[in-house]
Amino acid sequence: MALDYLSLLNEPQRAAVLHTDGPTMIIAGAGSGKTRVLTYRIAHLLEKGVDPYNILSLTFTNKAAKEMRARIEKVVGPAAKGLWMGTFHSVFARILRAEADKLGYPRHFTIYDTDDARTLIRQILKELHLDDTVYKPATVLGRISAAKNKLISVQQYLSDAQIRRDDEVAQRPALGQIYQLYAQRCFRAGAMDFDDLLFQTNVLFRDHADALNKYQHLFKYVMVDEYQDTNFSQYLITRKLAASHRNICVVGDDAQSIYAFRGADITNILNFERDYPELQVFRLEQNYRSTQHIVKAANSVIKQNKQQLRKDVFSENEAGALIEVLRATSDNEEGRLVAHSIFEERMNQHLSYEDFAILYRTNAQSRSLEEALRRQNIKYRIVGGLSFYQRKEIKDMVAYLRLAVNANDEQALRRVINYPKRGIGDTTIEKLIAFGAETNHSLWEVVCSPASALGTNRQSGGVREFAETVQLFQQIAEQEDASEAAKFIAKRSGVLDDLYADKSIEGLARHENLTELLNGVSEFVDNPEREDKSLGAFLQEISLLTDADSKGQEQGEHVTLMTIHSAKGLEFRNVYIVGLEENLFPNQMAVGSRTELEEERRLFYVAITRAEKKLTLSYATSRYQWGNLRPCEPSRFLGEIDPQFVQVKFAPNGGHDDSPFGAVVERRTAASKLITPPVRPQQATIYKAPIDFQPSDTSNLQPGQRVEHPKFGFGKVTAVTREPAGTKAVVQFEEVGEKTLLLTFAKLRIH
């Protein structure tokens, strides 16, 4: 007997499933059963006699497509196998294989992954004699990817004056030439990268009307999941495909649009009605996932956004516990409070660790949390990223620290002898190792006298310089505490500068992680109860922490740690959102722009709505940044939650008790205690930049000079420092206070 799926739906869900003809938009709030609606809508079409080959269903993950197909099969049987269902990239790769000859590609074209693409970029940079510290392969690839997602061809890129200016300002004027060579080489190799799968599909449909006509008639019904996450390229393809029958159904939630950094355009869903005036809209507003308090708290936050579609999300579940806010005195204590809270909640409620998730804004925040969980003997797993101490940049830096304490550490030496690059290739390293083996000397001993193994060539000079650098690090490690030694080594080794130079999203994250490691060393030294503050003692502590990292970590139950972006689409019984401080969440880069701030608020909304039964928020009043303890302000988002749904907990004074009972906190039910301090102005309000504003040449900028900035107004230069990354100026502005500006990008007019 076939499943009576209609009886499993509420009224708005049922209406959305039964309405199959014409343009349809299903606005699905968090936890409202959108996957179920999409599944049963396709099942309903198949039951009506629509051929499965005439249905195109596009998702954002293979997992979502697989799960949806399995659900449909349960309702309609094997007919589901004929559906065109999958991710944008998988479906359009299939179309491109069938039509490849029209574009001059072989049918069995290669698909380059990110590593393939970066290797090709590196080869091109080498051929053009360009500096790969300026033209970082990841940065170059990101620029090419962004162009393709906006359907900017090589010809358009090269001829657009604004693009050329932007590249010149970024000091990468050759980007257009690299894009051109990259596209030529891919084509010559019969290869497409991931972005090409969408870009070339658009080219196919633009230049070959017969191909477009074929697929327009084939796909009588087009459905798109997570429509709020589509970029311009995806929007255009789906619009073209649906142009003939106009049976397009998009499912999404504008309040969960959080991928602008990847090219997602929220206006696609906000302006959908403009494209289809005859649109039918269905709102799925009942949340089946979360308690009433969680849903109402989420609503009170998201209503602050101006750019949104109206909906009234509600829950008929129990009212549930109030949302707890933990106020800690430091990020270390925040980790401790969260770990103790998880331990107690699990014991008191008889839960599994699988019921808990900790969400953060950036991967770097995991360090203090991981350490606290280990001390409490709570197993955890990192989703969407490596464990903090297993990340490459951390292992590289720790290798340098290990050499400063024990230069005979061969594994550490081999790891960093040519990082950052100093012309010591694999062949040279093998020669050094072989000579050491023949003469019964350690690798370090051979490195200290390289001429005996290599002669007096250029490589020998590079090895000798490395040895002298390590010897200097040894001296520093003997003379200074762990914090000072680590900061010196991070800077002098070149690792910090190397990561700082990479301005890609990944590069910025790696730089953040390294500074977080230095923060951890500073915390170690600043602990008044710790007698031995040496670098050796610090390394011993983290080696004991990381020993268990790879052993048995995947067996049994775990607390889940992940970024909020990684948590999209998931749900957990108990959720902890940590680091709710200004300039961390919302991110520092977002607070100056309403559009970006609204994206951050949507990210917070997504985080809140992952919780089923209990939600805990936390912030620290001080946090280590760049090795220094700095005061923090609570996030403005905390102040936007309706106080009636909040219970605030304050950490005990001092917060240095490491015992299991040290985290017992004083309960305060008065949410009025949570007062968000006024936000510092991010731009001048009285000052308005003149229309004829022209920046001056700042190459000889001096302290004491009066300057004007189009956003911050008038100010006085208090300091100018020249660093490898570029010259920085510290300016005391009249309205917004002190700002540090990179002169390469700062638009300053000198008066």
Strand-strand pairing, 611-620 and 323-328? parallel
Tallying the residues shown for the chain, one arrives at: 751
Closest CA to 712 of 685, 690, 744: 685
What is the token pair recorded at 497?
A: 């500068």
- DSSP for 587-630, written as a single string: BTTTTT-HHHHHHHHHHHHHHHTTEEEEEEEEEESEEEETTEEE
CB 722 within 8 A of CB 700: no
Cα distance between residue 422 and residue 459, in whole Å: 9
Give Cβ neighbours of residue 703 (< 8 Å, ≥ 6 apart). Answer: 717, 718, 719, 720
Give Cβ neighbours of residue 348 (< 8 Å, ≥ 6 apart). Answer: none
> Hey, which residues does 284 pair with through a beta bridge?
28
CB 31 within 8 A of CB 294: no
109-to-100, 188, 189, 190, 706 alpha-carbon distances in Å = 8, 11, 8, 5, 59
Closest CA to 518 of 416, 400, 378, 419: 400
Give the end-to-end CA distance of the chain in Å, rounded to a whole number: 83
Cα distance between residue 325 and residue 579, in whole Å: 11
The alpha carbons of the chain give a radius of gyration, in whole angstroms, of 29
Left, alpha or beta for 359 (phi > 0: left; psi -120 to 50: alpha)? beta
What is the token pair recorded at 225?
A: 């999941």
Closest CA to 103 of 183, 215, 201: 201
Q: Given the structure tokens 């008790």, which residue do they identify?
A: 657
CB 135 within 8 A of CB 172: yes
- DSSP for 104-160, written as a single string: T--TT-EEE-HHHHHHHHHHHHHHTT--TTTS-HHHHHHHHHHHHHTT--HHHHHH-
Angle at 508 between CA 637 and CA 535, to 5 degrees: 100
Q: Given the structure tokens 């955890």, which residue do they identify?
A: 380
SS (H, E, C) 218-238: HCCEEEECCHHHCCHHHHHHH
Which amino acids are annotated catalytic?
34-35, 225-226, 256, 610
What is the token pair recorded at 630?
A: 């700095």
Angle at 128 between CA 127 and CA 129, to 5 degrees: 90
Cα distance between residue 50 and residue 43, in whole Å: 10
Cα distance between residue 542 and residue 388, in whole Å: 11
Q: Is 281 helix (H, G, I), strand (E, B) or coil?
A: strand
